[in-house]
Amino acid sequence: MATCSGVGVCDVSVGECSCPQPFEGAACERLMCPPGTDTPCNGHGRCITMAELALEARNSLGDPLSITYGSTPNDPRTWDFNKIQACVCDDGFEGHDCERRSCPRGDDPRTTGQSREVQTISCVYTAVASFTLSFRGKVSTILSSGILAADLQTALASVPTIGDVQVSYSAGPNSGACTLASQAANTISITFISALGDLPLLRVNTDRNLVLLPAFMINSDGISGSIQGTNENAECSNNGLCNYDTGTCTCFNGMASSNGLGGLGLRADCGFLVPEMDRLADTTEVY
């Protein structure tokens, strides 16, 4: 153990450490978050320790990982669990210090033969019950086993990690989501519009205190009518340059803002391929 962690100067008259950058803390025991000023993460993120960062970890599909760092006392491999800090950026910002503004992302219209993710859910119940659906760590409002397709679509669209979706029932729009075991099964098809690429499975959360729980089956990757997403989730749809100061795309010649469905729209993502007959000598657009 060293006074002021061996990097600061102790004022013995008051018993306080004066820490040089990039150190902070009562004993100068922590590294500051970038950029190393009184405004960590440029005011666009949270400055947290390695131990806290572990709780924020996601897999390649964006699902939370159940891992810890530094939870075992005196483990020399995780000595820095509360000494090293880093930024977790707010939505719309990125970079090690959260200085860069994120640009819109979208599917590249120049690539063909790709599909949007479609996940299917079948649900059988013996008594009316409630449940929630979660996706990439965010949870829906409470849903009834008898919820209609239109209402389920609205509920899912309010989950920030999901966004726009299209929901249909094989049993028809006036059917409930779940069917009785004695009835023909209803298949819920959820087509993801805002979320692009290969996506993690939706997760069902039920009240474990109930005796008569609905039985759910969620499918993806081509099982039971589901489709694995293969479209891109690319910055400026791979057809523009991002200005990280403003978070806007400058589209390449012949590209424009899309609606996310292949048409002209307001996403400012350079995801619309302007028809040849409509192109001018220079159709470069900035969004």
The tens digit of pLDDT for each residue in 131-166 reads 999 999 999 999 999 999 999 999 999 999 999 999
Please indicate, yes or no, if residue 272 is contained in any of the structural domains.
yes
Residue 231 has pLDDT above 90, yes or no: yes
Of 71, 101, 131, the residue that ends a domain is 101
Of 101, 133, 158, the residue that ends a domain is 101
Dihedral of the alpha carbons of 107, 245, 159, 261, in degrees to the nearest 10: -20
Strand pairing category for 203-206 and 130-135: antiparallel
> What is the chain's mean pLDDT, rounded?
91
Q: Are residues 214 and 123 in the same domain?
A: yes
Please indicate, yes or no, if residue 69 is contained in any of the structural domains.
yes
| Residue range of the domain that includes 68 | 32-101
Q: Are residues 90 and 136 in the same domain?
A: no
Q: Are 91 and 97 in contact (CB under 8 A)?
A: no
Please indicate, yes or no, if residue 55 is contained in any of the structural domains.
yes
Please indicate, yes or no, if residue 1 is contained in any of the structural domains.
no
Please indicate, yes or no, if residue 215 is contained in any of the structural domains.
yes
Main-chain dihedrals φ then ψ at residue 221, nearest 5 degrees: 60, 40
Residue 196 has pLDDT above 70, yes or no: yes
Q: 99: which residues sit within 8 A by CB, 6+ positions away?
A: 35, 42, 44, 93, 244
In the chain, the percentage of residues whose pLDDT exceeds 70 is 94
Cis ω before 104 (30° cut-off from 0) = no
pTM, full prediction? 0.82
CB atoms within 10 A of CB 250: 16
Please indicate, yes or no, if residue 39 is contained in any of the structural domains.
yes
Of 101, 132, 151, the residue that ends a domain is 101
Cis ω before 22 (30° cut-off from 0) = yes
Please indicate, yes or no, if residue 7 is contained in any of the structural domains.
no
65-116 pLDDT per residue, tens: 989 999 999 999 999 999 999 999 999 999 999 999 999 999 999 999 999 9
Please indicate, yes or no, if residue 11 is contained in any of the structural domains.
no
Please provide the DSSP assignment of 167-200 as one string.
Answer: EEETT-TTS-SSEETTSPPPEEEEEESSS-SS-P
Task: State residue 5's pLDDT score.
Answer: 95
Q: Are residues 124 and 152 in the same domain?
A: yes
Tokens 């010649």 — which residue? 253
Number of domains in the chain: 3
Q: Are residues 152 and 67 in the same domain?
A: no
Q: Are residues 212 and 253 in the same domain?
A: no
